[in-house]
Amino acid sequence: MTNTLSEFPAFLGAVYAGAWIGVLYALFWLVRMALGNNKWIDGALDTLFYLLAGLICAFAIIRINGGTPRAYLFLGMALGVAALLRFVARPLKPPAQKMIKWLKQKVKKRPT
């Protein structure tokens, strides 16, 4: 039982790393909304997101567990991403969409 309890801080570290991946996802969502639909930009942003998310994941596993992958660490990261997107990013989406729409209108009205 003590061995299981000693792994709990590692699990919380994985949740924290997953939350950072969720922040990264939310930021890339904002950039994608601001730039509009373009398959080349979407592809570049997706590639950059997966590269950065993989680096965060690898760094977290190395830092938390000495590089030994464990299933509970991946579950912790998934929980961190899901929690951040559900409870933080989701409520912020409508105001962010309004702000992006307002900024796009201001840029279009700007005289050149």
Give the pLDDT band (50/70/90) at residue 53.
Answer: very high
Q: Tell me: the pLDDT tens digits for 58-87?
A: 999 999 989 999 999 999 999 999 999 999
Q: Tell me: the pLDDT tens digits for 4-51?
A: 788 899 999 999 999 999 999 999 988 888 888 889 999 999 999 999
Domain borders along the chain are: 2-109
Phi-psi region of 18 (alpha: psi -120 to 50; beta: other; left: phi over 0): alpha
Tokens representing 6 are 């000693």
Q: Which residues have C-beta within 8 Å of that of residue 73, sequence separation ≥ 6?
A: 10, 11, 14, 60, 61, 64, 65
Residue 100 near residue 34 (C-beta atoms within 8 A): yes
**Which H or E run contains 98?**
helix 90-109
Give CB contacts under 8 A, 24+ apart, made by 97-100. Answer: 97/33, 100/30, 100/33, 100/34
